[in-house]
Copies of this chain bind each other. A is one copy, B any other.
């Protein structure tokens, strides 16, 4: 079967920069390519957009197929279409970035048949195509966005300690934050629900757990509230 057009058309793909955070810092999910070009190189998960499929759906489908990751925060990043970005011909890719709770997804991705693995964002292997550039754009977007939208919570377990939250921000923003000021500010927003639970299995005083109150956030936004760290 084949499809014919009066003018040549670029191929359309999606690529996803999937971020996770753990004690070691910011991580990015990559898959190892098994076909040319760039066979054996690591690359962003992605693939072709089906002709009757929404672009964002294609991104979710590829993530699910290649890495088993689903139900995550996903947002369009930028469209990359340099004429020479793929040696096979003109390929335009709509890049997305995604945030996942690493603890929930670590094993599944790492053991997947397609050889997916998490890499420290500061020590990525050489990437296929222009994927290194896409990653840079995604990191800049994450850094910028985390400050004025509460997307950081997408990277933490649903129940978290204030120290975990602070470390998350320190990792993404790449600078240290003052503990007292951080707590004062985040608690003053009244977006966190104090739970009657504490950490377990730590060799020191167990910290209280909190969860992010998404409903309340949405209500406040409607009233003109602006999240900001």
Could you list which residues of chain A lie within 8 angstroms of chain B, going by C-beta atoms? 1-12, 48-49, 51-55, 76, 78-79, 81-83, 90, 92, 94
Verify A6–B12 contact, CB threshold 8 A: no
Q: Describe A's contact surface by its main secondary structure.
A: loop
Verify A78–B81 contact, CB threshold 8 A: no
Select A4's contact among B3, B10, B53, B83, beta carbons within 8 Å. B3
| Copies of this chain per assembly | 2
**Contacting residues, chain B, for A5 (C-beta < 8 A):** 2-5, 9, 11
Verify A4–B2 contact, CB threshold 8 A: yes
**Contacting residues, chain B, for A78 (C-beta < 8 A):** 76
Q: Smallest CB-CB separation from A10: which chain B residue?
A: B12
Verify A94–B79 contact, CB threshold 8 A: yes
Minimum distance in angstroms from A16 CB to a CB of chain B: 14
Q: Which of A5, A7, A48, A79 counts the most chain B CB atoms within 10 A? A: A79
Select A2's contact among B6, B53, B83, beta carbons within 8 Å. B6
5 contacts between A and B (CB under 8 A): A3-B9, A4-B4, A10-B51, A53-B83, A54-B83
